[in-house]
């Protein structure tokens, strides 16, 4: 089987962001068909001091090995993808994500995450977001097991 | 091997592949009875009905689960007890027509968000103990049973030929079908039936099927276990968890059930329709995070499962070796968890139900079988868990590969590793003393450490060997004790004191000699000596946190009740205290893990919509615990005499044991019994043994006194009807039975304390019939 070697991930240009949250609204439109943003957005922009910071999945894929039913896969384009039809809502991926980027909204038991679709990039009036291509080998992370005693 | 992110379809176990002629298997099935039911939704954790199947008459029906039943029995094991009370007679034995095999769920069973929420509870009259045995087991069967429409499955009667009972949640049918061509041994039949009943030829479809089976040895032994399957989409094999204790697999095969199959159409994270799914997910995610951050520094379950206990038990002199003679052994490091870690398949979600991130269910894949009918095949071995490793150390088997061999064959033959290991360790000790020998053992050289002979015994049991020893050995330590004594081999007391069983059930794998509270945790139990009621060794022996009889009794009230609660709800106990919040040690009662107790309060409320407190959880358990004890009384047991444990569990039986820990015991003669040091130095080992023997037996009786009083029982261990009324029970038959028993005990002089009290010491109450005041 051919395995993807690269994946597109979001890059944030903090200096350009003005905190309008258009990206969140665009994202929640993709995942929940609503402009609510906030809890229903995979990308989150938060105010930090004078500027803003972005919090989103970086496609490292640690969650892939957590899913008991195989709902999480790395697609051909390298993106870590949750199939909510297969997902049984256990939240293992949510709980184990080391950066808290696998999200759970109150309206649905199945979690959701960034799929690098670019909606937020297009929605940003300040061009503060960009999709960049990285090598999967450089970002890949697996579940850590300590050896015995 | 330690690499992650492999695509699921690329996983390979290296196991020997089987191809089954499914058409042939299916065409040999004859449907004896078929029953259609209306599919329904689970509401707030309950399917609100149970399924009754009678194999003798072919009757299949539904029974309602009422609000009253939920209030008094909660679910799971509680429902099982209620249904058994309605169906059994006091004279019912394991192989009686009316005996039932129950598989129940519980309101929290099948939730995926909180680790350890997929347990099935199994109950039946045990061949080993002649009373009800309950087992808590993982695998997919329980959750699927509920999502297929039933809180409990109740099977009565016996089929005339080998059958499978199929609950098809997709079609809404229950059928009893003959199954003449399927294998009996679990690793094969679970695979055959998973493929046979999966709707589509895909791994995801196979994952929606669960099979309960046993094996050939269960037909000839009292150690029969039930194997509950859970299909692993990565390994592409149905893996298994065991309802091991008390011979429930023996009951399954006695009923001529080859397997039970359940299938669900679909399920998701809210198939239980919890009252508050948002809160439920919050509580669950918090626990996932705790496990993520802390497990590797605490129990390391995710890496090695319960096997992490081996090195700890060895360090504290608690690992049973050579039939519990010793608690540690020079060779024990050969079976420490890192040795198994080398063999385990890594980086796979190893929960026995979805969402259990504690993931203790480890496997060795592609293991090459060394003996018996499957010699040379490559198989997946589920485990070994701590108890299985402990069973092997008890037999002085120190090679990880032989531990795997024992584990594999016990599982596939449908044998409980604990009972088999503990009993064989006893046979081996008898062999060492010459009380048993090659001739008396039908040609087996059952010396300590002879793994080949131990496996040969298993194979011969599975083959139905009719040798006198093989037949009796397969029935366990109690029957072998009787057989040895009947033949006049060896000293009766030595045989009684060293065969590690109580109530007819073999001990699980902890040395209890130095912890009186843990002796109570094994002896003052409902089903027999199993660590699932209380595990107090560290609290008692290491931390000395419960020094008085009263404090020990309080612990032997609280912890058995608390641990019972998991079984009422379809939960696993491990995520309660095998992972602890980082600040747990700073809380007022670290042994109770208060933050996790609160999790369970929130969890039950979020599922059911109730408004319970932590005290209510204990009350739920107390009802069921007392009900089960009362049923034991009803069946002629459940009294002080039945709570006795062999002296090997209380202290050193032989001179060798005494001398191996001489300093410890000599010190106790001075400090605990009050003998002058100089006097102790002059005593012979035999005199010292006798002194300890008398002292410790009396300590145990005094402990029983304190515990019975705390639990609301009479001095003979019978639950007082007044106590039952306090718990809310109004069942006249039950209350009258208890009162009649207490009256008879009074006549027979059994309502008296068991301990001998010195000047200045008092039994828990000096008042006669103290329970009559409770109303």
Domain ranges of chain B: 8-263, 299-506, 613-773
The residue range of the domain holding A127 is: 6-139
Q: How far apart are CA B237 and CA B13, in angstroms?
A: 9
**Residues of chain B positioned with their CB less than 8 A from the CB of A62:** 4
Q: B381 - beta bridge partners?
A: B364
Nearest residue on chain A to B233, alpha-carbon basis: A69
Tens of pLDDT, residue by residue over A74-112, are 999 999 999 999 999 999 999 999 999 999 999 999 999
Instruction: Assign residue A57 the CATH number of its domain.
Output: 3.30.70.20
Q: Nearest C-alpha of chain A: how many angstroms from B296?
A: 6
Q: Which of B312-323 are b and which e, b meaning 16 or more Cβ less than 10 Å from the residue's Cβ?
A: bbbebbbbbbbb
Total tally of structural domains belonging to chain A: 1
The tokens for A7 are 């994946």
How crowded is residue B276: how many other Cβ atoms within 10 Å of its Cβ? 16
* The pLDDT of residue A148 is above 50: no
The answer to whether residue B337 neighbours chain A at the CB level (below 8 Å) is yes
With a cut of 70, which residues of chain B have pLDDT below it? 1-3
Is residue B418 within a helix (H) or strand (E), and if so which, with residue range? helix B417-432
Angle at alpha carbon of residue B520, lines to B517 and B524, rounded to 5° = 155
Residue A2: predicted pLDDT = 78
Burial (Cβ within 10 Å: 0-12, 13-18, ≥19) of residue B369: buried
Of A92, A98, A110, the CB nearest to B355: A92
Chain B window 10-49: which residues touch A at a Cβ cutoff of 8 Å?
10
What's the mean pLDDT when you consider all of chain A?
94
Say if A95 falls within a structural domain.
yes
Q: B62 - beta bridge partners?
A: B51
Residue A141: predicted pLDDT = 82
Say if residues A16 and A128 touch (Cβ distance below 8 Å): yes
Q: Nearest C-alpha of chain A: how many angstroms from B345?
A: 12
The answer to whether residue A82 neighbours chain B at the CB level (below 8 Å) is no
Q: How far apart are CA A114 and CA B311, in angstroms?
A: 43
The answer to whether residue B583 neighbours chain A at the CB level (below 8 Å) is no
Which residues fall within 8 angstroms of residue A7, CB to CB, at 6 or more apart? Answer: A59, A74, A77, A78, A79, A116, A133, A134, A136, A139
The tokens for B378 are 């490559």
Residue B2: predicted pLDDT = 45
Q: Which of B102-123 are b and which e, b meaning 16 or more Cβ less than 10 Å from the residue's Cβ?
A: bbbbbbbbbbbbbbbbbbbbbb
Residue B1: predicted pLDDT = 40
Chain B window 56-115: which residues touch A at a Cβ cutoff of 8 Å?
112-113
Of A61, A74, A89, the CB nearest to B112: A89
Q: How far apart are CA B89 and CA B178, in angstroms?
A: 29
ipTM: 0.96
Q: How far apart are CA B192 and CA B196, in angstroms?
A: 6
How crowded is residue A149: how many other Cβ atoms within 10 Å of its Cβ? 15
Residue B5: predicted pLDDT = 85
Residue A1: predicted pLDDT = 60
Residue to mutate among B3, B116, B285, with most A CBs inside 10 A, is B285
Nearest CA-CA partner of B310 in B387, B399, B363? B387
Contact A95 B285 (CB under 8 A): yes
The answer to whether residue A99 neighbours chain B at the CB level (below 8 Å) is no
- Provide the CATH number for the domain formed by B299-506 in this structure: 1.10.569.10
Tens of pLDDT, residue by residue over A16-35, are 999 999 999 999 999 999 99
Q: Nearest C-alpha of chain A: how many angstroms from B203?
A: 10
Tens of pLDDT, residue by residue over B76-111, are 999 999 999 999 999 999 999 999 999 999 999 999
Contact A106 B278 (CB under 8 A): yes
Nearest residue on chain A to B339, alpha-carbon basis: A148
Tell me, what DSSP letter sits at residue B342? T
Q: How far apart are CA B510 and CA A3, in angstroms?
A: 49
Rounded to a whole number of angstroms, the distance between the first and last alpha carbons of chain B is 64
Q: How far apart are CA B501 and CA B507, in angstroms?
A: 5
DSSP codes, B454-480: HHHHHHHHHHT---HHHHHHTT-HHHH
Looking at chain A, the number of H-run helices and the number of E-run strands are 4, 6
Nearest residue on chain A to B309, alpha-carbon basis: A149
Q: Coil, strand or helix: which one is B584? A: helix
* The pLDDT of residue A146 is above 80: no
Query: In CATH, what class is B8-263?
Result: alpha beta
């Amino acid at each position: 089987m051919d395995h993807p070697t690269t994946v597109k991930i979001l890059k944030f240009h903090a200096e350009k962001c003005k905190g309008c949250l258009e990206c969140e609204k665009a994202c929640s439109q993709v995942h929940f068909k609503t402009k609510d943003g906030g809890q229903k957005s995979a990308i989150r922009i938060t105010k930090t001091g004078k500027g803003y910071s972005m919090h989103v999945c970086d496609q490292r894929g640690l969650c892939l090995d957590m899913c008991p039913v195989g709902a999480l896969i790395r697609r051909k384009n390298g993106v870590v993808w949750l199939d909510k039809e297969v997902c049984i809502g256990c939240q293992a991926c949510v709980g184990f994500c080391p950066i808290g980027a696998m999200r759970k909204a109150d309206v649905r038991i199945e979690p959701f995450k960034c799929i690098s679709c670019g909606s937020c990039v297009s929605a940003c009036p300040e061009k503060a977001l960009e999709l960049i291509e990285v090598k999967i080998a450089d970002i890949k992370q697996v579940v850590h097991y300590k050896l015995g005693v | 091997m330690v690499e992650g992110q492999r695509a699921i379809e690329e996983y390979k176990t290296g196991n020997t592949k089987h191809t089954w002629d499914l058409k042939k298997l299916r065409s040999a099935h004859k449907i004896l009875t078929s029953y259609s039911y209306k599919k329904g939704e689970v509401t707030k954790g309950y399917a609100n009905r149970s399924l009754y199947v009678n194999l003798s008459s072919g009757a299949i029906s539904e029974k309602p689960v009422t609000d009253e039943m939920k209030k008094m029995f909660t679910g799971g094991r509680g429902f099982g007890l209620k249904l058994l009370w309605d169906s059994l007679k006091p004279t019912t034995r394991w192989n009686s027509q009316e005996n039932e095999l129950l598989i129940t769920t519980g309101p929290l069973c099948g939730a995926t968000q909180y680790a350890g929420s997929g347990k099935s509870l199994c109950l039946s009259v045990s061949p080993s103990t002649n009373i009800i045995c309950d087992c808590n087991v993982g695998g997919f069967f329980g959750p699927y049973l509920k999502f297929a429409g039933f809180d409990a499955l109740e099977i009565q009667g016996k089929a005339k030929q080998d059958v499978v009972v199929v609950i098809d949640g997709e079609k809404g049918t229950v059928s009893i079908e003959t199954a003449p061509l399927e294998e009996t041994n679990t690793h094969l039949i679970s695979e055959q039936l998973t493929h046979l009943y999966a709707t589509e030829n895909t791994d995801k479809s196979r994952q929606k099927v669960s099979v309960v089976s046993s094996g050939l040895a269960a037909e000839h032994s009292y150690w029969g276990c039930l194997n509950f399957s859970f299909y692993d989409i990565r390994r592409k094999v149905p893996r298994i968890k065991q309802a091991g204790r008390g011979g429930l697999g023996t009951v399954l095969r006695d009923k001529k059930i080859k397997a039970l199959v359940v299938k669900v159409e679909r399920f998701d994270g809210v198939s239980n329709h919890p009252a508050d799914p948002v809160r439920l997910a919050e509580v669950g995610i918090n626990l996932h995070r705790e496990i993520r951050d802390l497990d590797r520094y605490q129990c390391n379950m995710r890496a090695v499962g319960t096997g992490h206990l081996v090195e700890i038990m060895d360090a504290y002199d608690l690992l049973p070796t050579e039939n519990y003679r010793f608690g540690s052994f020079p060779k024990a490091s050969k079976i420490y968890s890192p040795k198994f870690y080398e063999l385990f398949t890594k980086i796979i979600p190893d929960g026995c139900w979805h969402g259990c991130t504690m993931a203790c269910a480890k496997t060795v894949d592609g293991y090459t079988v060394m003996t018996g009918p499957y010699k040379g095949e490559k198989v997946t071995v589920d485990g070994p868990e701590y108890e299985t490793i402990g069973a092997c150390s008890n037999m002085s088997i120190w090679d990880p590969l032989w531990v795997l061999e024992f584990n594999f064959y016990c599982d596939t033959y449908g044998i409980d590793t604990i009972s088999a290991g503990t009993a064989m360790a006893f046979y081996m000790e008898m062999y060492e003393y010459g009380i048993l020998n090659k001739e008396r053992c039908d040609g087996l050289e059952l010396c300590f450490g002879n793994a080949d002979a131990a496996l040969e015994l298993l194979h011969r049991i599975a083959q139905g060997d009719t040798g006198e020893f093989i037949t009796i050995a397969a029935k366990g330590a109690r029957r072998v004790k009787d057989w040895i004594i009947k033949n006049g081999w060896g000293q009766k007391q030595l045989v009684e004191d060293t065969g590690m069983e109580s109530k007819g059930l073999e001990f699980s794998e902890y040395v209890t000699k130095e912890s009186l509270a843990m002796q109570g945790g094994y002896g003052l139990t409902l089903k027999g000596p199993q660590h699932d009621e209380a595990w107090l060794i560290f609290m008692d022996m290491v931390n000395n946190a419960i020094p008085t009889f009263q404090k020990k009794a309080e612990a032997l009230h609280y912890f058995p009740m608390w641990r019972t609660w998991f079984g009422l709800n379809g939960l696993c106990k491990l995520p309660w205290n095998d992972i602890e919040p980082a600040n747990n040690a700073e809380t007022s009662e670290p042994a109770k893990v208060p933050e996790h107790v609160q999790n369970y309060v929130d969890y039950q409320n979020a599922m059911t919509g109730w408004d319970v407190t932590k005290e209510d959880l204990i009350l739920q358990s107390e009802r069921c615990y007392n009900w089960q004890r009362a049923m034991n009384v009803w069946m002629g047991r459940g009294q002080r005499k039945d709570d006795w444990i062999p002296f090997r569990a209380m202290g050193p039986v032989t001179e060798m044991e005494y001398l191996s820990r001489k300093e410890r015991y000599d010190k106790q003669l001075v400090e605990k019994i009050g003998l002058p040091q100089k006097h102790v130095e002059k005593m012979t080992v035999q005199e010292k043994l006798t002194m300890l023997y008398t002292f410790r037996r009396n300590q145990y009786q005094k402990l029983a006194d304190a515990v019975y009083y705390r639990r609301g029982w009479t001095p003979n261990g019978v639950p007082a009807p007044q106590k039952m009324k306090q718990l809310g029970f109004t069942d006249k038959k039950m209350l009258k039975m208890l009162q009649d028993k207490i009256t008879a005990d009074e006549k027979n002089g059994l309502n008296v304390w068991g301990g001998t009290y010195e000047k200045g010491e008092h039994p828990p109450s000096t008042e006669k019939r103290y329970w009559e005041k409770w109303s």
